[in-house]
Amino acid sequence: MLQRSARRRPTIRKAARIGLSHAKVRRSRVKDPLLAIIVGAGNRGHGVYGRWALDHPDDIGIVAVADPDPDRRARLARAHGIPETARFPDTATLVAAGVDAQAAIVASPDRHHASDAIDLVQAGLDVLLEKPVAVGPDELAQLVRSTRTARGRLSVAHVLRYTAFFGLVHEIVTSGRLGDVVSVVHRETIAWWHMAHSFVRGNWAIAATSSPAILAKCCHDLDILTWNSASPVSRVASFGSLKHFRPERTPLGALARCTDGCPVDCPFDARRIYLNPDAEPWLVEAVADDPTPGSIEAALERGPYGRCVYGAGSDVVDHQVVVMERADGATLTLHFDGHGEVGARTMRYDGTRATLRGIFGERPALRIDDNAGGSEVIEPEPRGVHGGGDDAIMRAFVDHAAAGQALPTDIDDAIESHLLAFAAEESRIEGRIVDMVEVRARLGLDSPAVRAQAPAPRGTSPSNSQASPTSTSSSPAWTRQPHDIIPP
Ligand SMILES: NC(=O)c1ccc[n+]([C@@H]2O[C@H](COP(=O)([O-])OP(=O)(O)OC[C@H]3O[C@@H](n4cnc5c(N)ncnc54)[C@H](O)[C@@H]3O)[C@@H](O)[C@H]2O)c1
């Protein structure tokens, strides 16, 4: 069986016995790295969390890996010096073999998340679980129940909450500065090439083998909307479809693969996207583990990313809207769209005292216009991938694990964002309005935050007790300056 590492840092009294000064104990406490496992050695496991561990050896050491792909497993193992004996094809084998570790990062495909997390928390580990935490309501209920009785703690990688940008949005909305929030519009626009890569040719193209796009991509957005809400959502309606990437829209003369000498001048030409020298590393690393023009070309000739987008067989939406009514009467809308020129999240909160508008893209910015006059533009520093969220969540995870705690974005906290995504998909497919009170009651699931939010009478000020992973004091420096691309 897997062992939660029994390694203990020396106590002051024991240190005195063995001749260490208090200063040395303090240093050793700070430097004792968290011993962790990575499950899923792909873009997130190897490229994001693994890289963070290599950059922060005093904080975390990766001591085992689970991934069925031998090349990916070996790549991560080489990077972290993991011996053959600590490399496994999956979580169950790893747990059965036993590894001396304190924590695990689960970055396997969506459909493995819940079972991987259950095995690891039941083995007593602190787990950081990628989203979505589960692909359906029953699986979510099972995960919540298993976690509540487990020795280990489960944290969820809702990375946006750890960004300076969304930390500020949360502070502003919950401070009451906007007054009573009446209407919120939040857009998640994916760039056209990102849509083609992830949701047409790639991992998230088929809902039955991954998850519906509104869950896979927008559980982050639903989490932000939930986090900023003073009152729970009571009703959900949703519309959307796969409009473009369909066989009947195939251009005349197009071939099954872009690399077959396809004569069509097409923006989705795989060679244009992946052989572009400016293509982002995560994009080309998904195509070829060791990306060079030659290895990318070869992968496009044989692999999924060289297929014509119109015949790739995708069945997830390329656009969807979710309309939500809160118990206090406010309305929220979420727009998911895979045809943007560039990718960005944009939002607008209209309150009874002020309007907040924001763009979370290459150059994040917020603007507050007070109804009584005056406006303020804030540009939180964009810091790294996901606006700094990836770096910040790893820092927080390591610190919380050392303190014996889960992150504020724990499994209870993730219930509502996932229930809303399931409800949106149910509404979109069945063409009906979903009653969230009924959903929570049927599943016996509601988050503590929702329970705490007694339906507020209309016209009262918002208050939100959910814990914030960021705070004003820890927010990075920001500047006030004109910004010309904040949406209307
Ligand atoms: N938090 C975020 O913002 C964010 C961003 C991107 C992706 N994700 C999520 O992270 C997860 C991983 O995404 P990715 O982009 O790294 O995908 P990926 O395909 O690059 O990596 C997944 C890895 O898991 C491995 N794998 C397959 N089956 C496995 C199993 N049973 N056990 C262990 N490993 C297994 C694959 O071989 C692959 O190496 C997905 O669920 C995705 O939705 C989250």
Residue type, 335: H
Q: Kindly report, residue by residue over 340-381, the tens digit of the pLDDT.
A: 999 999 999 999 999 999 999 988 999 999 999 999 999 987
Number of H helices, E strands in the chain: 18, 18
Residue 25 confidence (pLDDT): 28
Q: How far is the centre of ligand 1, averaged over its atoms, from the C-alpha of 110 (Å)?
A: 7
Q: What are phi and psi of 339, to 5 degrees?
A: -125, 25
**Rounded CA separation 270/432 (Å):** 38
pLDDT at 2: 54
Atom of ligand 1 nearest to the CA of 39: 33
Q: Answer positive or negative: Cα dihedral of 262, 265, 266, 271.
A: positive
Q: What is the 69 CA–ligand 1 centroid distance (Å)?
A: 12
CA of 412 relative to ligand 1 center, distance in Å? 22
Q: Which atom of ligand 1 is nearest to the CA of 389?
A: 3
Atom number of ligand 1 nearest to Cα 108: 24
The whole-number pLDDT of residue 1 equals 47
Q: Are 212 and 240 in contact (CB under 8 A)?
A: no
Q: Kindly list the distances between the CA atom of residue 24 and the CA atoms of 9, 34, 61, 437, in Å, as whole numbers in the listed order.
A: 11, 18, 21, 55
Tally of CA atoms within 13 A in the half-sphere of 64 that contains its CB: 27
Distance 306 CA to ligand 1 centre (A): 20
Q: Whose CA is nearest to atom 7 of ligand 1?
A: 44
170-211: pLDDT as tens digits: 999 999 999 999 999 999 999 999 999 999 999 999 999 999
What is the distance between the alpha carbons of residues 389 and 165, in angstroms, rounded to a whole number?
9
- How does pLDDT run across 111-146, given as a tens digit for each residue? 999 999 999 999 999 999 999 999 999 999 999 999
Q: Compute the distance between CA of residue 214 and CA of residue 220 in angstroms, rounded to an integer.
A: 10
Domains of the chain with CATH codes: 3-156 (3.40.50.720), 161-245+316-385+409-479 (3.30.360.10), 247-306 (no CATH)
- Ligand 1 centroid – CA 368 distance (Å): 37
Query: Distance between CA atoms of 372 and 220, rounded to whole angstroms?
Result: 33
pLDDT tens string, the chain, 488 residues long: the values are 455 554 433 222 232 222 232 223 233 345 689 999 999 999 999 999 999 999 999 999 999 999 999 999 999 999 999 999 999 999 999 999 999 999 999 999 999 999 999 999 999 999 999 999 999 999 999 999 999 999 999 999 999 999 999 999 999 999 999 999 999 999 999 999 999 999 999 999 999 999 999 999 999 999 999 999 989 999 999 999 999 999 999 999 999 999 999 999 999 999 999 999 999 999 999 999 889 999 999 999 999 999 999 999 999 999 999 999 999 999 999 999 999 999 999 999 999 999 999 999 988 999 999 999 999 999 987 666 677 899 999 999 999 999 999 999 999 999 999 999 999 999 999 999 999 999 999 999 877 777 777 554 433 333 444 555 543 333 333 444 555 666 66
Check if the beta carbon of residue 233 is closer than 8 Å to that of residue 447.
no
Residue 112 and residue 43: Cα distance in Å, rounded? 16
Residue 447: its pLDDT value, please? 76
Pocket test for ligand 1, best of 108, 211, 391 (most atoms within 8 A of CB): 108
Q: How far is the CA of 120 from the centre of ligand 1 (A)?
A: 17
Q: For a substitution probing ligand 1, which of 44, 199, 201, 223 has the most ligand atoms within 8 Å of its CB?
A: 44
Return the residue whose CA atom lies nearest to atom 32 of ligand 1: 90
pLDDT at 445: 86
Q: How far apart are the first and last CA of the chain?
A: 56
Cβ count within 10 A of residue 244:
18
Strand partners, 237: 323
Nearest atom in ligand 1 to 41's CA: 39
Please give the distance, rounded to the nearest whole angstrom, from the Cα atom of residue 64 to the centre of ligand 1. 16
Q: Which atom of ligand 1 is nearest to the CA of 386?
A: 3
Token code pair at residue 342: 């560039």
Write out the two tokens for 383: 């810091």
Ligand 1 center–CA 12 separation, angstroms: 42
Query: CA dihedral in degrees (90, 95, 96, 101; nearest 10)?
Result: 130
Q: What is the pLDDT of residue 452?
A: 79
**C-alpha pair distances (Å), 318 with each of 24, 236, 329:** 57, 19, 29
8 Å CB contact between 91 and 120: yes
Q: Pocket residues for ligand 1 (CB within 6 Å)?
A: 39-45, 66-69, 72, 90-91, 107-110, 112, 130-131, 157, 159, 203, 216, 286, 386
Q: Which residues pair with 48 in a beta bridge?
A: none
β-strands 126-129, 103-106 pairing? parallel
Nearest residue (by CA) to ligand 1, atom 37, is 69
Q: Which residues of 40-63 are buried (b: 16+ CB within 10 A; e: fewer)?
A: bbbebbbbbbbebbeebeebbbbb
